[in-house]
Structure 1
């Protein structure tokens, strides 16, 4: 558990330290309509991570149901490895997100950073609550598609790696914003 908590703390700090100096307008700035703003990246992380919380709760209650496909270890490993590879921060190509995880608004208040910080604390608590399920090698389905299955441990690796990827994406937007505004640093 500690490995994820430490990474979540680091990512949270990176977001807060890098973007808390920005105005609401800057957090919502987009270099083009098809590119997410810094705020949209943050909202996406909150939205996506929260879709796993009901799964974690069902795992802990012992009433989580898996599809038949989850019985095959090679399928579980295949999906886990494939998705983990697809969310690496050094992404070469852009991937489309499932509709349920798209940012919910076009414009966000500066308080999105505080919401993110609160969410990250909740995320760490949720991970702590499923520690025993991790040790049991629990398997879960993606909230977006029940037939995409992977180990809970891999899901947490995916979520944390995905956060790093979106920090990099938000940092790229910030770099473009600095160029646009003629800012240094």
Structure 2
């Protein structure tokens, strides 16, 4: 995938703002609704949010570390890496997409959580917006951001930001589907 860097960052910012608006609306729900599960194997709204918080705890630190230690000039065009594009395409929400198994460390199943999970998610999204804005003066094509499942793969800055925004969007949509059934 090739795209204009500024347009990509603008789009990721819009996705993140939309995710935040939806998460903010979840704050109007009660604890029982937020922890409701349609089936024992499904996630509640708060479990979806906690899953995202666990990913944010890893990736936001990685992205920030990379931006601080690797100042590079802006490139006007972003070209996704093979692995980065593969990972992003796996998480982009689309009709008929199959469920994916998550890593045990990222699986919040069975947790009874409080609305503090949403507050933490909103704080992480503020941080993501900050990093998206800081990335406007960085080279999105520079690799160096680790992934959660192996130290052997390093994502380009643009791919890591894309993964975060689309992964968040995927699970926000999942959480919305739960809330419509409560």
Indicate the TM-score class for this superposition, using the shorter chain for normalisation: 0.7 to 0.9
Alpha-carbon displacement from aligned partner over 1:31-56 (angstroms, at most 9, x marks no partner): 12221110010111111012013322
CA gap of 1:105–1:33, structure 2 versus 1, over 3 A, is closer
Q: Does 1:55 align with 2:62?
A: yes
1:1-185 mapped onto 2 (5 Å cutoff) = 1-17=9-25, 19-62=26-69, 77-90=81-94, 92-103=97-108, 106-133=111-138, 135=139, 137-139=141-143, 140-177=145-182
CA contact (8 A) 1:43 1:104 kept: no
Whole-angstrom distance in 2 between the partners of 1:110 and 1:125: 23
TM-score, L = length of structure 2: 0.78
Q: What value does the CA root-mean-square deviation take over the aligned residues? A: 2.3
CA contact (8 A) 1:84 1:157 kept: yes
How many Å apart are 1:168 and its aligned residue?
1.3
Whole-angstrom distance in 2 between the partners of 1:77 and 1:136: 11
Whole-angstrom distance in 2 between the partners of 1:27 and 1:112: 10
| Pairs aligned (count) | 163
Where structure 2 has 5 or more consecutive residues not aligned to the other structure, the ranges are: 1-8, 71-79
For residue 182 of structure 1, what is the aligned residue in structure 2? none
How many Å apart are 1:105 and its aligned residue?
6.6
CA contact (8 A) 2:92 2:167 kept: yes
Whole-angstrom distance in 1 between the partners of 2:137 and 2:142: 9
Please identify the structure whose Cα radius of gyration is greater: 1
Secondary structure, counterpart of 2:81 in structure 1: helix
CA gap of 1:151–1:14, structure 2 versus 1, over 3 A, is same
Where structure 1 has 5 or more consecutive residues not aligned to the other structure, the ranges are: 64-75, 178-185
- Runs of 4+ residues deviating >6 angstroms: none
Alpha-carbon displacement from aligned partner over 1:17-43 (angstroms, at most 9, x marks no partner): 2x2221101101111222111001011
